[in-house]
Amino acid sequence: MLTVGELASLAGTTVKTVRHYHARGLLMEPPREANGYRRYGARDLVQLSRIRRLRDLGLSIAQIGDLLDGETGGIHEALDALDDELAEQSRLIALRRRTIADLRGSLDPELPDEFAQVMSEYLAAGVSPEWVAQEKEFLLLALTVSAGSPDVSERLLGIHRRVLAEPHRARGVDLIGRVSRLDDHAGAAEIDALAADYCAFMAEVLPDQMRPSEVPYIRDDERMSALMDEHRFGNASTGYERFVRAVATRLADGA
């Protein structure tokens, strides 16, 4: 007769595992003897060895419980089902590895390729990394809330491509830099001049963006509008807030 420790050692497992199999009903727990110890016999060792073998093959506890008292054919069927499951997992793993390989070649794995490209162009044109990081957050926000809407994606891409296109690129990059540098100490004259230059650029390059009601990711979407404002003004300087008000005033006046 064997102690639980001897049983576990002979079967190549642990006492904790044996007790787990007891709790799950896979292995009968013998009654205690007069000295308080449980003793295991040859049948218990055979049963534990079968359980270990089936676990090593990858079968679950529930599957093993159904198979222990069945015919060998049942085990073959379970193994066939397990093989099919592993084949599907292998297919998914291969697909994910191909996706990872593609992402490794991307300029920014967190963004769709087209957006990663325009962000890279901004950096190459001299826009600050801080502004690019902020704009990337906005893009992720817009794409998420719009559920990847092709309409929204194309509109956003169109905006950036027009800003980066010649002959407007240098002017657009300069405006981005001036706006991003606004702080709490920006003077009224600086803000007024920047608002005038900004509105002139928008009227020439992005006239459709001067009519917010026609922008698809704003129109009839209060949630998107609120999230955009939260992102836009969450950590904004008072100088930037005054600039936004100056632009709104000029647009209202038809500037």
Residue 5: give its domain's CATH number. Answer: 1.10.1660.10
In terms of domains, do 32 and 89 share one?
A: no
Q: For 73-96, what is each residue's pLDDT tens digit?
A: 677 788 888 888 888 889 888 888
**Judging by beta carbons within 10 Å of its beta carbon (0-12, 13-18, 19+), is residue 35 exposed, middle or buried?**
exposed
Contact between 179 and 137 (Cβ < 8 Å): no
In terms of domains, do 3 and 127 share one?
A: no
**How many domains, in total, are found in the chain?**
3
Residue 98: what pLDDT?
78
In terms of domains, do 33 and 139 share one?
A: no
Mean pLDDT for 157-178 is: 94
Q: For 104-143, what is each residue's pLDDT tens digit?
A: 665 688 888 899 999 999 999 999 999 999 999 989 988 8
In terms of domains, do 188 and 237 share one?
A: yes
Q: Is the pLDDT of residue 223 over 80?
A: no
In terms of domains, do 49 and 93 share one?
A: no
Mean pLDDT for 231-246 is: 89
In terms of domains, do 165 and 207 share one?
A: yes
| Domain boundary residue, one of 81, 105, 129 | 105
Q: Is the pLDDT of residue 33 over 90?
A: no
Which of 95, 104, 98, 62 is CA-nearest to residue 81? 62
In terms of domains, do 28 and 79 share one?
A: no
DSSP category for residue 83: H
| Residues composing the chain | 255
What is the domain range of residue 80? 70-105
d(CA 105, CA 108): 9
Between 20 and 149, name the one with better pLDDT. Answer: 20
In terms of domains, do 62 and 81 share one?
A: no
Mean pLDDT for 223-252 is: 86
- Categorize the per-residue pLDDT at 99 as very low, low, confident or very high, splitting at 50, 70 and 90: low
Q: Is the pLDDT of residue 219 over 50?
A: no
Instruction: Using DSSP, state whether 102 is helix, strand or coil.
Output: helix
In terms of domains, do 52 and 82 share one?
A: no
Between 168 and 226, name the one with better pLDDT. Answer: 168
In terms of domains, do 226 and 170 share one?
A: yes
Residue 37: how many other CB atoms lie within 10 Å = 11
Residue 211: what pLDDT?
61
In terms of domains, do 154 and 197 share one?
A: yes
pTM above 0.85, yes or no: no
In terms of domains, do 169 and 91 share one?
A: no
